[in-house]
Amino acid sequence: MPPRGRRRAPEPQRNAAARLADQLQAAGYTKRDIARIINRDPSLVSQFYTKNKGAAFVPALTQVLAAVQTAGISDIAELAAIAAGHITRRTTSTGTKARVRTKALLITPTGTGTGRAGVQAIASGSTRLRPLIAEAARQGLRLAFTVRMARADFLHASGSRTDSPGIRRDVIQRTDHTEERSYGSATTGGFAATDFAHRVDRNGGDVTAAVHEWLVETGRIRPDAHIVHLEIRTWRPR
């Protein structure tokens, strides 16, 4: 009698958050985009699939998906604003609001550090990035940054050497008519963290305002431009 073949174990059914995330990805959004929309770390979106998490975000993701499919809204900032009204912080056993885990800002012994701010953090001045810049200044490091904003808010064409000379990285263009552009790199020398720390201090600790100020002063963006995502990178000069 021939041996019976082993039955393949059925794949675990995805939870509601993962199914909604699948539909958003089918609409062209990445897991990182979804994380920005719900103002959480991208690792949480991955845990929708691996650890069955995300139940608290189902109402928000449902509204976001409806906005994309029915209303034709594609801008991540607008979708984040929609999601924010449907996200309720979980509470602890004592009834207090639970803390939201975020990536710690870290500068390694080699001087490498990265910090990011999404829609809601941008609105409050990206203050979570201030300690990173301050520590980089204390250590005498260099920094670079990437901003994302509406394509029409930039004054120079995509990839222009006038806009960001020496940067070989491609400009990232999004379907929602925004672009990500990088300024400074280890190759070009970047910016002195001490200079940017002083600029942040002059703006009352508002990192978004400090970066916006520099971009306007150097003739790269319109004065009324709105940054929707910001990333700071540091390194130790050779």
Residue pLDDT, tens place only, 160-179 = 777 775 554 546 667 778 88
220 contacts: CB under 8 Å, gap ≥ 6: 154, 155, 156, 163, 183
Q: How many angstroms separate the CA atoms of 155 and 166, rounded?
A: 18
DSSP 8-state code for residue 161: T
Tell me: pLDDT of 140 over 70. Answer: yes
* Chain centre distance of CA 128: 12
pLDDT band at residue 105, thresholds of 50, 70 and 90?
A: very low
Among 111, 137, 135, 144, CA closest to 235: 111
Q: How many angstroms separate the CA atoms of 37 and 31, rounded?
A: 10
Report the predicted TM-score, pTM, of the whole model to 2 decimal places.
0.55
pLDDT band at residue 99, thresholds of 50, 70 and 90?
A: low
- Per residue, the 3-state secondary structure of 15-29, as one string, reads CHHHHHHHHHHHCCC
Q: Give the CA-trace dihedral at 198, 151, 233, 133, to 10 degrees.
A: 20
- Domains of the chain: which residue ranges? 16-84, 113-235
